[in-house]
């Protein structure tokens, strides 16, 4: 990915001297402030920002000096994930469900809001597809209205039950439109369609990330995805629940790598879709073995 990335390095300077914004803070006692010496923070909304991935993204954006508005309905997100930013004037938290419209003034929109674990998104499938379709429509409408750049977090599940390995972005997938996962797979596929249509028809600046299985701190213990399930079961000394024959494969990425990928994608020129994951694949049996071995080593 060709990435121009001034924002990942807050200390980097753009040499624009004595540029007046005409505002209250443009002057000091000896004249104009050299604004170009300091990177100007962006205003960013993160939908789903109190969730597992969202809250790590928020941490990175806050750390580089941006002003962040988190929008979350707390279905799977938790206040505890972002409460360390409470009291910071650059941070705001709004309890809001993206299926309802929202008006905000921001420069960038990271749209993460949607339950991502199969256990959670199958809990209320109609709500899941509504979140992906109506929620994405609302946030794209906002991006168009205010001229913000919009990043959609899509999923590796748009490839369905893939007939190609590994899946490249040009592969169109093999998706069942009426299966129990369709609320999520087809919801995200429609969200991608909407994103590209707003880009082509309305000129909205968009980015699409297809996220593969991700793990790390702040995953709920009851998340239901395989890494947290196996770790929780091993800690409780319970048998690991390997589904099927365990020969199905997945790749697993650490959450900080994903967050770095999301920020680079947002700041770069590549519209996407762009796969974000780990190229190394494991079978679930191999994963179960790795988890057991690690736990045994730690307990020695």
Ligand X SMILES: O=c1ccn([C@@H]2O[C@H](COP(=O)(O)OP(=O)(O)O[C@H]3OC[C@@H](O)[C@H](O)[C@H]3O)[C@@H](O)[C@H]2O)c(=O)[nH]1
The 3-state DSSP class for residue 187 equals helix
Q: How far apart are CA 261 and CA 53, in angstroms?
A: 12
Looking at the Cβ atoms of 69 and 129, the one nearer to ligand X is 129
Residues at the interface with ligand X (CB under 6 A): 116-118, 155-157, 211-213, 225-226, 229, 241-243, 248, 250, 284
184 is catalytic: yes
CB 143 within 8 A of CB 109: yes
Nearer to ligand X, 44 or 112 (CB): 112
Strands (E) located in the chain: 27-28, 31-32, 43-47, 67-72, 91-95, 108-111, 149-155, 206-211, 214-215, 249-251, 253-254, 274-276, 281-283
Which CB atom, from 108 or from 117, has the smaller least distance to ligand X? 117
> Minimum CB separation from ligand X for residue 117, in Å?
5
Say if residues 161 and 181 touch (Cβ distance below 8 Å).
Answer: no
Compare residues 19 and 249 and give the one whose CB is closer to ligand X. Answer: 249
Burial of 299 (0-12, 13-18, 19+ CB in 10 A): exposed
CB of 31 to ligand X, least distance (A): 53
Report the length, in residues, of the chain: 300
**Minimum distance from residue 89 beta carbon to ligand X (Å):** 34
| Residue that the structure tokens 């990175």 belong to | 60
Minimum CB separation from ligand X for residue 148, in Å?
24
Catalytic residue among 110, 184, 198, 215: 184
Tokens representing residue 141 in the block: 């409408």
Write down the least CB distance from residue 195 to ligand X, Å: 16
Provide the 10 A C-beta neighbour count for residue 38.
13
Nearer residue to ligand X within complex by CB, 127 or 250: 250
CB 18 within 8 A of CB 34: yes
H-run or E-run covering 21: none
Residues acting as catalytic residues? 184
């Amino acid at each position: 990915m060709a990435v121009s990335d001034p924002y990942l390095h807050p200390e980097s300077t753009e040499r624009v001297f004595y540029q007046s914004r005409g505002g209250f803070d443009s002057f000091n006692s000896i004249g104009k402030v050299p604004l170009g010496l300091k990177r100007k923070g962006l205003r960013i909304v993160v939908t789903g920002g109190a969730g597992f991935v969202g809250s790590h993204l928020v941490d990175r954006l806050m750390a580089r000096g941006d002003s962040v508005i988190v929008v979350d309905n707390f279905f799977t997100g938790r206040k505890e994930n972002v409460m360390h930013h409470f009291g910071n004037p650059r941070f705001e938290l709004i309890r809001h469900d993206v299926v309802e419209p929202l008006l905000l003034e921001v420069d960038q929109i990271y749209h993460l809001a949607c339950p991502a674990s199969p256990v959670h998104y199958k809990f209320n499938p109609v709500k899941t597809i509504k979140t992906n379709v109506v929620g994405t429509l609302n946030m794209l409408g906002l991006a168009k209205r205010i001229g913000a750049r919009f990043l959609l977090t899509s999923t590796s599940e748009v490839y369905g039950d893939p007939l190609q390995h590994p899946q490249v972005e040009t592969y169109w997938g093999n998706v069942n439109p009426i299966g129990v996962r369709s609320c999520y797979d087809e919801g995200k596929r429609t969200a991608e369609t909407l994103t590209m249509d707003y880009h082509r028809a309305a000129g909205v600046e968009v980015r699409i990330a297809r996220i593969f299985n991700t793990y790390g701190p702040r995953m709920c213990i009851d998340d239901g995805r395989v890494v947290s399930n196996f770790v929780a079961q091993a800690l409780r000394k319970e048998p690991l629940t390997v589904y099927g024959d365990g020969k199905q494969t997945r790749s697993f990425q650490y959450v900080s790598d994903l967050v770095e990928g999301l920020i680079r994608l947002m700041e770069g020129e590549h519209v996407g879709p762009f796969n974000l994951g780990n190229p190394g694949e494991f079978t679930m049996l191999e994963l179960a073995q790795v988890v057991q071995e690690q736990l045994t080593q730690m307990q020695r």
